[in-house]
Amino acid sequence: ATVIFSGIQPTGIPHLGNYLGALQNWRRLQDEAQPGAKLLYSIVDLHAITLPQQAPMLRQWKREMLAALLAVGLDPARSSIFYQSSVPAHTELMWILSCTASMGYLSRMTQWKSKLHLSDDASALDEKAKASLKLGLFSYPVLQAADILVHRATHVPVGEDQRQHLEFARECATNFNHTFGAGSKLLVPPETILSPAKRIMSLQTPTSKMSKSDTDPRSRILLTDSAEEIHKKIMAAKTDSTNAVSYDRAARPGVANLLELWASFDARGRGPEMLAEELGGQKASLKDLKTSVADVLVEEIPAIGVRYREFLEKDGGRYLDEVEEEGARVARKSADETMEIVKRAVGLSR
Ligand code: TYM
């Protein structure tokens, strides 16, 4: 049976990268799912605390993320949406997996290495700074693997930046099966599903990905931005000094990003190359390109913001609680079935 699982950190309103890289795909998979397919989407609060968080903020961000997921079109009748911490089996399986996961593999992960500053610049942290890095940040991928494997997920829709974590999850499943199941398929190695817009870039630094943690708010468009804000941010996007449109990701990253944004929303399904060719033929300027991109975004995004505010307020906030409680109930049942198999195989149950 098909089991779809994915997760998102509750660290602020999702942006266009989250939307095009992941959430749009979550919705598509839901809308195309066969009866009997299981869909689980988690707001991963335990991952969020690998960096310092303030309790009231975290609490609020979890609710906001839930409202945002409903606003993009996840339907609780078909998709179970839940907070990761509502399903203790995620952390329980994490411990068990960490007994067969290798430190060497974890220390080679890009995200960890970027914390050590080994990947992008030469100035490695000094020993004291290294020693104060947190264990949770190091073992982050093991919890992510547990999220996926505890539901025996077959497919995981994510953006490009999660590809390595997904490979690690497959490795965890294989290791576990080898150690405890003589190779039989106790845990299921999942498949990664990438969207065509798997890596949306910052509007201000188009060589790095659009990210929630960028200090410049003009670098990203939030799903709750108004038409006016979207317009402003797109018109101010960094491009280059050639005032004509062509698609060249390496030489013209800013222009390419705009074309890719447009392509992700194009009703006629034109890809970035085709859009560039058409605009080139029309001798369009970069301003023309930006105007068109802003127009297609404004057709879809502000309506999400409207629904988002409705969901936050619905029944004085009780609606969100009910959606989450029901989602968590389904997820606990799904996870408990796997834990029974796991505990029997390891020898933890009678
Ligand atoms: P997070 O919260 O950073 O991002 C959520 C999803 O958005 C995608 N994404 C992007 N896609 C394209 N372009 C971008 N600029 C961009 N920025 C973010 C991410 O790839 C992701 O799919 N570790 C995960 C959360 C997680 C998870 C899981 C995911 C925890 N457990 C289990 C899948 C399965 C994360 O931090 O995503």
Establish whether 128 is a catalytic residue: no
Q: What architecture is domain 217-310?
A: Orthogonal Bundle (1.10)
Query: Average pLDDT over the chain, rounded to whole?
Result: 95
pLDDT, tens digit, 9 for 90 and up, residues 182-224: 889 999 999 999 988 899 999 999 999 999 999 999 999 999 9
pLDDT, tens digit, 9 for 90 and up, residues 43-93: 999 999 999 999 999 999 999 999 999 999 999 999 999 999 999 999 999
Establish whether 209 is a catalytic residue: yes
Other C-beta atoms within 10 Å of 187: how many? 28
Helix pair 140-149, 89-98: axis angle to 10 deg: 120
**Residue 119, pLDDT score:** 42
- Percent of the chain whose pLDDT exceeds 70: 98
Ligand 1 atom 5: residue of nearest CA: 8
Catalytic residue among 62, 209, 233, 290: 209
Contacts of 124 (CB under 8 A, 6+ apart): 116, 117, 118, 130
Ligand 1 atom 26: residue of nearest CA: 7
Give yes or no for residue 338 having a pLDDT over 50. Answer: yes
Check if the beta carbon of residue 247 is closer than 8 Å to that of residue 273: yes
Single-letter code of the amino acid located at 163: R
pLDDT, tens digit, 9 for 90 and up, residues 235-246: 999 999 999 999
Residue 224 sits at the vertex; the CA angle it makes with 28 and 279, to the nearest 5 degrees, is 70
The backbone torsions φ and ψ at residue 107, rounded to the nearest 5 degrees and listed phi first, read -75, -10
What token pair was written down for 253?
Answer: 């990253």
pLDDT, tens digit, 9 for 90 and up, residues 161-170: 999 999 999 9
Between CA 300 and CA 293 the distance in angstroms is 12
**Residue 55, pLDDT score:** 98
Best residue among 162, 165, 172 to mutate for probing ligand 1, ranked by most atoms within 8 Å of CB: 162
**Residue 124, pLDDT score:** 67
Best residue among 4, 9, 18 to mutate for probing ligand 1, ranked by most atoms within 8 Å of CB: 18
Distance 283 CA to ligand 1 centre (A): 37
Domain boundaries, the chain: 3-199+315-346, 217-310
Distance 342 CA to ligand 1 centre (A): 27
Q: Is 257 exposed, middle or buried (0-12, 13-18, 19+ CB in 10 A)?
A: buried
**DSSP letter string, 216-254:** -GGG--BTT--HHHHHHHHHT----S--S----TTT-HH
pTM of the shown model: 0.96
Side-chain half-sphere of 290: how many Cα atoms within 13 Å? 18
Superfamily (CATH) of domain 3-199+315-346: HUPs (3.40.50.620)
Establish whether 212 is a catalytic residue: yes
Side-chain half-sphere of 316: how many Cα atoms within 13 Å? 0
- Would you say how long the chain is, in residues? 350
What token pair was written down for 64?
Answer: 């906001």
**Residue 118, pLDDT score:** 53
**DSSP letter string, 164-185:** HHHHHHHHHHHHHHHHHHTT--
**Residue 17, pLDDT score:** 97
Check if the beta carbon of residue 175 is closer than 8 Å to that of residue 187: no
Check if the beta carbon of residue 42 is closer than 8 Å to that of residue 82: yes
